[in-house]
Structure 1
Amino acid sequence: MRKHIIGVMGPGDGATESDRAEARELGKAIASRGWVLLTGGRNIGVMEAVNQGAKEAGGLTIGILPDNDASHLSDCIDLPIFTDLGNARNNINVLSSDVVVACGMGLGTASEVALALKNGKSVVLLNVDIITQDFFQKFAINIAVAQTAAEAIEIVEALIEPQ
């Protein structure tokens, strides 16, 4: 049986301490369930924190890189995929994920959430302000909001492992 791939998207440079802390917990929880983690693969912000959490828990990590430069690759990535597509790699991120969790928000993350929703993927928003939540909820029903990483994982479990 194919393993579930959970995409975690979030800001790089603009990630807050709270974004990084929630992302690290997400990574641990994803790995502990035997799911595969997919991120943007860089060594900064949410990407780095979630990959660190996954590796701490013995998980498998995939990084979809925007360029062909390994100098920005997270040390916690098992399978790097160098695209040289810039922001167009966001489509690969969301289409390759069974569920997308957006931890924090920035322009790149917003584009990934929009692409996921447009393609019928379920999205969980974590650590996102109410204005952003309201905006995305106007466009789709396949979107949920979580207050903590643990709550986000419960939502993901319900989405990919229905009773």
Structure 2
Amino acid sequence: MSGYSVCVYCASSDGVAQENITLAEELGSAIAARGWTLVSGGGKRSMMGAVARAAREGGARTVGVIPRSMVEREWADHDSDELLITDTMRERKGLMDAHADAFITLPGGLGTLEELFETWSARVLDLHTKPVVLLDPDGHYTGMLHWLKTLVDGGFARPGALDRLTVTRDVTAALDACKG
């Protein structure tokens, strides 16, 4: 894969608010405008589909990584420039990590949080040096960020752990943080 690539974690479930779909589209368009490649979870629904469609419409290359069980449910984004199919979710995350130079997390649910925490934990443990960015324009993660500070205050996380996560409120700042 040539050029710079950013992996985006976000909701893939239906029913999210339109402003989150719009945010995903804005991010996909901005990734394309920078000439970057988008790496995503390979789904065509909700925010995940929106970010990939917008990136492709802007001329970006898209790489989707999806477990076989989700392909069989017809959730796969077959329009991806490259669609990698794995046997498990663990393999999926490994391939997404391997194809990405940076990570951006948009609003999402349990799966999105799991991806964020795994990538961020690996960064805190110096298992990689890739930027980990949380794009939270509307305060979706405010409660979580407060709770994370209490982990540091209580000695459950090192003080520098929060420094390994860049929190932004707009797309431009998030993309700028990806290039550190």
Shorter-normalised TM-score: what interval? 0.7 to 0.9
Bigger radius of gyration: 2
Change (3 A) 1:53 1:136: farther
SS at match of 1:119: helix
Distance of 1:105 and 1:132 partners within structure 2:
12
Q: Secondary structure at the match of 2:68?
A: coil
Q: Is the 8 A contact 1:126 1:146 kept in 2?
A: yes
Partner of 1:156: 178
Note the C-alpha offset of 1:55.
0.9
**Unmatched segments (≥5 aa) in structure 1:** none
Are residues 152 and 82 of structure 1, via their aligned partners in 2, closer, same or farther at CA, if it must alter by over 3 Å? same
Matched, 1:126 2:135: yes
SS at match of 1:8: strand
- CA distances 1:68-94 after superposition (whole Å, capped 9, x unpaired): 526222244110000021355223323
Q: CA RMSD in A?
A: 2.2
Q: Distance in 1 between matches of 2:53 and 2:37?
A: 13
CA deviations on 1:85-137 (whole Å, 9 max, x unpaired) are 13552233234321110010211111111111122242111233211233456
**Is contact 1:5–1:35 with CA below 8 Å preserved after alignment?**
yes
TM-score, L = length of structure 2:
0.77
What code does the residue aligned with 1:123 have? V
Q: 1:65 is paired with a residue of what secondary structure?
A: strand
Does the 8 Å CA contact 1:116/1:122 hold for their aligned counterparts? Answer: no
Equivalent pairs: percent with the same residue? 27
> Which residue matches 1:41?
42
User: Residue 9 of structure 1: CA displacement?
Assistant: 0.5
Please give the alpha-carbon distance, in whole angstroms, between the structure 1 residues aligned to 2:118 and 2:78.
27
Distance of 1:17 and 1:9 partners within structure 2: 17
TM superposition shift of 1:47: 1.0
User: d(CA) in 2 for partners of 1:10 and 1:51?
Assistant: 11
| Deviation beyond 4 Å, 4+ runs, structure 1 | 135-139
Could you say which residue in structure 1 is the equivalent of 2:75? 72
Distance 1:36-1:146 versus aligned 2 partners, 3 A rule = same
